[in-house]
Amino acid sequence: MSSISDIQLHIQNIKYSSPTIYSGIEILLVLDGELAVETDKSMHQLSEDHLFVINRNQPYEISGIQKNTVLKMGIPDSFLSHFYPEYRFHTFNLFSPEIDRGKENTITELRMLLAEVMVIHFRQEEGYKLEMGERISKILLILIRRFKTDKTMDVEVNVEDDRLKAIITFIEQHYDEPLTLEEVANKFYLSFSYFSRYFKKQLGIGFTRYMMNIRLKHSLKDLLYTKDSITHIALKHGFPNAKAFTNLFKEVYGETPFSYREKNAKEHVNLVQNYDFDDKEALLSSPEILIKLRLLIAKGEDTKTISDIETNFESITIDIQSPNKRKLHHPDNLLMIGELRELQKESVRNQVLLAKDGLQIKYIGIHKLLTGRTIAPDVETDELIPTTSPYYNSDEAIEFLKSNHLSLYVHVRYNRIASEQEVYLEKLQRFFKHCITVFGYRYVESWCVMITDALDTYQNKEELEIFYLKIHGLLKSMIPNLKIGVHLPFSFKKVAINSNDNWILQQSEYIDFIAFQANIHEVIDYKELNDTNFDLAKSFIKEKTEKVKRYLKHYSIEKPLHLITWNTVSGNTRYTNGTFFRGALVFNDAISISDAIETLGFWINTETHEKGLDMNSIPLEGMEMFHYFNGKRPVFFAMSFFNRLRGNIIASGPLFIMTENELGYQLVLMNSTIINPFLSIEDTFLQKLMKEIRVTINLIPSGTYQIRKFIFDKDHGALYKLWWENNSEFGIDREIIDYITQSSHPSLEVFDETIDGEWSFYSYLTVNAIHFFEIRKVFF
């Protein structure tokens, strides 16, 4: 039974360590100085803080270059095989100076764990073996999950038969076990007699003799590099006894294993000073060692990593010179604010300007243009020329928009004005004439007007058709270039509109654009925990957009599409308490429909959304940019990254999109994950959905690049996480609110990278995280 006592721990000063081989893995951590490690395949030079793993049965020798101190841990086969038998079929590729970017924190954690093992072993306090076992288990998990590679077998035969290759690989992996021809035949679903003939025909040698040759080949390492007895070596490599080993050895090499060792064995000269951990004074006499171990532990504690979390691994290879390039299209962004009068509030103006700068907002959407509180009601007066204008509120708001190059997007809801159409049209005419006079024709013609029966209350759609044609004729007579469109009440499940709405198809020549909604609530219900429709949400926005386009094309209608209201899982945070982070979902949906639509809509915040619909606690069916207290919601940051992405798309896939522009390249990695939002409170469940992505970029022009890496995930930019952490049952004040608002933003890391034709790195993405890389070429 293996135990912690089987682990070999040393701190050494090495001048020279003779050629040796170890039945297990050895981990070297250089605390100071320099040394060279030569294996059977390569030479590595190690200096301070370098980590190196020597694999099972890998011959090596060490030479000191400068005076050094080395922490060395040996984990034998017995320990590894007990807890992870499959390790013998893999190697661990770890030399810290050569790791790809993205694994720095993992290396820091490994250093910390090794230092902790040493300190715990040195102290030997009560329960120290349990503490050591915990750290060693973490070390092994990191090696298995982050640095494991399949062992490449030295197959000496050149075969084209895939089945035979698999058989040979299996034998190489299990050569030290008492394998029989019948067991291998059964493993590959072959009969005993057929397998025997097949094996000899393909390789020219019988199965039993081939097995013995493989065992003999592997035994040579132990014979040359260890002092193990002949019997031990024979049994270790699968021979039934020392006699069988000796007889085969004499047949192949013409002499006994003993005489061969005498002539060829590597000289064992060890100029190594060990610090004896059983003698505490030996370690205390070198306080610099303890200080170094403490520093390594402190660095590890300061670095938050996910190395002990099992993640899904993905590998991406991108060829920069791909011929399939296309221009990235950015739809015009529409920000709904409710009434025009909202723009008289300083907080709303600040939010509008933040959205304009971050998202390149083009339109500001409003409801109740002529009703509500914006335009003052008509009053009787005996003045020939009234001294008070009913438009003073709207003028102030529109002047703000014009000065910031923002246009109006007016929603006219027929259900609200149906009973007084003529009065409304007269007021509308006066308002537009006033705006042309005050703000100029060119500015007003940049507006959009959308007609809708928002509540779908009128069974006689002829009324809406007549009204639309009236308002279209009225406004076009004044401003021919004004864009006037209609909302299309399209059903995702029916793939159609109601027959009462067919007038839209018949009057398409009078329609400049078609607006529609893509509300995820059409296919899922958050209240139904067992709802099986969550899979439908994976591509709902894209699929509905495509359905709308196909439907219109069937009627020979090709008009610009405006997606004015849309959502992802989980838009309704009232049911999930804001726990479900959805940054990558928003980004991915926006990218997926960017070529198909002209305008994409958002709400400024929930408060104005509710006011605009004259409702409280409405279903959150739109994308809100801000919280009540001006905090930026994840939608804001997701769309700001989309707006930041520029140039030509040179590669894309489910996990990434890469563009090329005048500054260099941009790469976005996404872990888009659709789950029932109620599961988002289960951290253990979410950890299983994390992704480790290895990215390799080929054919990138050689040179020096400045890399800017933004991380946007539940820990970097999610408003609700800080809201929970800094809230209490007694409420929050302005100081806490300001702290939450200022602290909720993506992280930024800037570093330089010299690239020679290829660049590879790792990223660890939590659920729905976005990692945004700007790879800027440096010109000297």
Q: Are 370 and 410 in contact (CB under 8 A)?
A: no
Q: Residue 715's closest CA among 655, 771, 656, 668?
A: 771
More confident residue, 668 or 605: 668
More confident residue, 546 or 88: 546
Q: Which of 29-33, 183-187, 429-433, 594-598 shows the lowest mean pLDDT across its residues?
A: 183-187
More confident residue, 474 or 455: 474
Average pLDDT, the chain: 84
Tokens of residue 604, six digits: 């400024």
Q: How crowded is the C-beta side of 576, counted as CA atoms within 13 Å?
A: 25
DSSP structure class, residue 706: E
Q: Are 392 and 340 in contact (CB under 8 A)?
A: no
User: What's the rounded Cα separation, in Å, for the pair 593 and 583?
Assistant: 16
User: What's the rounded Cα separation, in Å, for the pair 448 and 511?
Assistant: 12
Tokens of residue 757, six digits: 């034709």
Q: Are 770 and 655 in contact (CB under 8 A)?
A: no
Radius of gyration of the chain (CA): 36
Q: Residue 697's closest CA among 762, 764, 758?
A: 758
Q: Are 524 and 575 in contact (CB under 8 A)?
A: no
> Residue 460 pLDDT > 50, yes or no?
yes
Percent of the chain with pLDDT over 90: 41
Residue 612 confidence (pLDDT): 47
pLDDT band of 375, cuts 50, 70, 90: confident
pLDDT band of 685, cuts 50, 70, 90: low
More confident residue, 527 or 143: 143
Which residues make Cβ contacts (< 8 Å) with residue 223, sequence separation at least 6?
A: 233, 257, 260, 261, 265
- SS3 for 257? helix
> Residue 353 pLDDT > 90, yes or no?
yes
User: What's the rounded Cα separation, in Å, for the pair 158 and 162?
Assistant: 11
pLDDT band of 114, cuts 50, 70, 90: very high
CA 555 to each of CA 357, 361, 505, 541, 549: distance values in angstroms, whole numbers, following the listed order:
39, 32, 7, 22, 10
Residue 416 confidence (pLDDT): 81
Angle at 10 between CA 6 and CA 13, to 5 degrees: 155
Alpha helices in 445-598 (DSSP H): 461-478, 503-506, 540-554, 573-576, 583-593
Tokens of residue 456, six digits: 């779908």
Mean pLDDT of 377-393: 64
**Tens digit of each residue's pLDDT (9 = 90 or more) over 765-778:** 988 999 999 999 99
> Residue 388 pLDDT > 70, yes or no?
no
Q: Which of 259-273, 403-417, 500-514 shows the lowest mean pLDDT across its residues?
A: 259-273
> Residue 52 pLDDT > 90, yes or no?
yes
The full DSSP string for 636-670 is HHHHHHHHH--SEEEEEETTEEEEEETTEEEEEEE
- SS3 for 713? strand
- SS3 for 404? coil
Q: Residue 266's closest CA among 233, 230, 218, 224?
A: 224
**Tens digit of each residue's pLDDT (9 = 90 or more) over 421-453:** 899 999 999 999 999 999 999 999 999 999 998
User: What's the rounded Cα separation, in Å, for the pair 102 and 315?
Assistant: 14
Which residues make Cβ contacts (< 8 Å) with residue 766, sequence separation at least 6?
A: 306, 581, 671, 686, 690, 713, 714, 715
More confident residue, 628 or 403: 403
How many of the other CB atoms lie within 10 Å of CB of 509? 6
Q: Residue 776's closest CA among 647, 641, 639?
A: 647
Backbone angles phi, psi at 35, to 5 degrees: -155, 165
pTM: 0.77
Mean pLDDT of 531-558: 87
Which residues make Cβ contacts (< 8 Å) with residue 23, sequence separation at least 6?
A: 56, 57, 76, 77, 236
Tokens of residue 627, six digits: 């919280």
How long, in residues, is the chain? 780
Mean pLDDT of 622-636: 81
More confident residue, 196 or 53: 53
Buried b (16+ CB within 10 A) or exposed e, 672-708: bbbbbbbbbeeeeebeebbbbbbbebeebeeeebebe
Q: Residue 230's closest CA among 249, 258, 264, 268?
A: 258
Q: Which of 250-254, 287-291, 540-544 shows the lowest mean pLDDT across its residues?
A: 287-291
Element (DSSP H or E) covering residue 632: none
Buried b (16+ CB within 10 A) or exposed e, 188-218: eebeeeebbebbeebbeeebeebbbebbbeb
Mean pLDDT of 292-310: 72
Q: Are 604 and 337 in contact (CB under 8 A)?
A: yes
Residue 111 confidence (pLDDT): 95
* pLDDT winner (highest mean) among 165-169, 346-350, 621-625: 346-350
Residue 192 confidence (pLDDT): 83
Tokens of residue 624, six digits: 């809100």
pLDDT band of 618, cuts 50, 70, 90: very low
Q: Are 219 and 245 in contact (CB under 8 A)?
A: yes
Residue 765 confidence (pLDDT): 92
**Tens digit of each residue's pLDDT (9 = 90 or more) over 182-196:** 888 888 888 888 888
- Domains of the chain by start residue, with CATH: 4-149+275-303 (2.60.120.10), 162-264 (1.10.10.60), 309-328+646-780 (2.60.40.1500)
With 0-12 / 13-18 / 19 or more C-beta atoms within 10 angstroms meaning exposed / middle / buried, residue 506 is exposed
Residue type, 428: L
Residue 727 confidence (pLDDT): 76
Angle at 587 between CA 582 and CA 593, to 5 degrees: 125
* pLDDT winner (highest mean) among 269-278, 402-411, 630-639, 729-738: 402-411
Residue 341 confidence (pLDDT): 87
CA 626 to chain centre: 24
Residue 694 confidence (pLDDT): 92
User: What's the rounded Cα separation, in Å, for the pair 637 and 769?
Assistant: 11
> Residue 615 pLDDT > 50, yes or no?
no
Residue 71 confidence (pLDDT): 94
Beta-bridge partners for 665: 660, 775
